[in-house]
Amino acid sequence: MKKELKILIVLYLITRIFYFFSGGFILKKVGFLKENYEKNYHLQRKMSAWVEAFYRWDAPWYLYISENGYKENKEAPEAKKWKDIPFSAGFLPLFPYFIKFFKIFFPSYEFAGIFLSFLFGLTSIVSFYFLIKKFLPASAFHSTLLFMFFPPSIFLSLPYPEGLFLTILFLFFLALEKEFLEGYLLLPLLFLTRPQGFYTLFLFPFFPKELKKKIYLLILSLLGFLIIFLIYYQNFGSLLPFLQRQSFSRGIPLGPWHGFVEFFLWKEKGIFSWKGSWIDLFLCITFIPLITFSKIRKKFPLWASLWTYIVLLFPICSSFLSYQRLILPAFPIFGILGETFSKKLIYILIPLLFLIQFYYLFRYATFQWIS
What does DSSP assign to residue 29?
A: H
**Average pLDDT along the chain:** 89
In a domain, 309, yes or no: yes
CA distance 336 to 202: 23
Q: How many residues does the chain have?
A: 371
In a domain, 130, yes or no: yes
Specify whether the CB–CB gap between 144 and 335 falls below 8 A.
no
| pLDDT value of residue 84 | 63
In a domain, 182, yes or no: yes
Residue 158: in which H helix or E strand, if any? none
Half-sphere exposure of 307 (CA within 13 A, CB side): 24
pTM listed for this prediction:
0.94
In a domain, 371, yes or no: no
| pLDDT value of residue 242 | 78
In a domain, 370, yes or no: no
Choose among 172, 169, 82, 146: nearest CA to 357.
Answer: 146
Share of the chain above pLDDT 70, in %: 94
DSSP for 49-62, please give it. HHHHTT--TTHHHH
Ramachandran region of residue 150, left (φ > 0), alpha (ψ -120 to 50) or beta?
beta
| pLDDT value of residue 138 | 92
What amino acid occupies position 278? W
Alpha helices (H) in the chain, listed in sequence order: 2-30, 34-39, 49-52, 59-68, 77-81, 94-102, 109-135, 140-149, 162-177, 187-191, 211-236, 240-250, 257-265, 278-293, 302-313, 323-326, 331-340, 343-365
In a domain, 139, yes or no: yes
The string over 65-93, giving b where at least 16 C-beta atoms fall within 10 Å of a residue's C-beta and e elsewhere, is bbbeebebbeebebbeebeebbbbbbbbb
Choose among 147, 126, 179: nearest CA to 329.
Answer: 147
Instruction: Note the pLDDT tens digit of each residue in 199-233.
Output: 999 998 887 788 888 899 999 999 999 999 999 88
What amino acid occupies position 115? F
Instruction: Note the pLDDT tens digit of each residue in 239-292.
Output: 777 777 777 776 666 777 777 887 787 778 888 888 888 999 999 999 999 999
Phi then psi dihedrals of residue 156, to 5 deg: -65, -25
Q: Residue 359 pLDDT more than 80? A: yes
Phi then psi dihedrals of residue 270, to 5 deg: 180, 175
Q: Residue 59 pLDDT more than 60? A: yes
CA distance 256 to 130: 31
| pLDDT value of residue 192 | 95
| pLDDT value of residue 80 | 55
In a domain, 73, yes or no: yes
Q: How confident is the model over 93-97, as a mean pLDDT? A: 95
| pLDDT value of residue 83 | 56
Q: Residue 307 pLDDT more than 70? A: yes
Q: How confident is the model over 174-201, as a mean pLDDT? A: 91
CA distance 61 to 251: 20
Range scoring the smallest mean pLDDT among 167-171, 218-222, 256-260, 355-359: 256-260
Specify whether the CB–CB gap between 133 and 178 falls below 8 A.
no
In a domain, 237, yes or no: yes
Range of the domain at 106: 2-365
Split into its structural domains, the chain has a count of 1
Bond preceding residue 208 cis, omega within 30 of 0: yes
Cα 41 to its chain centre, rounded Å, is 20
pLDDT band at residue 79, thresholds of 50, 70 and 90? Answer: low
SS3 (DSSP) at 257: helix
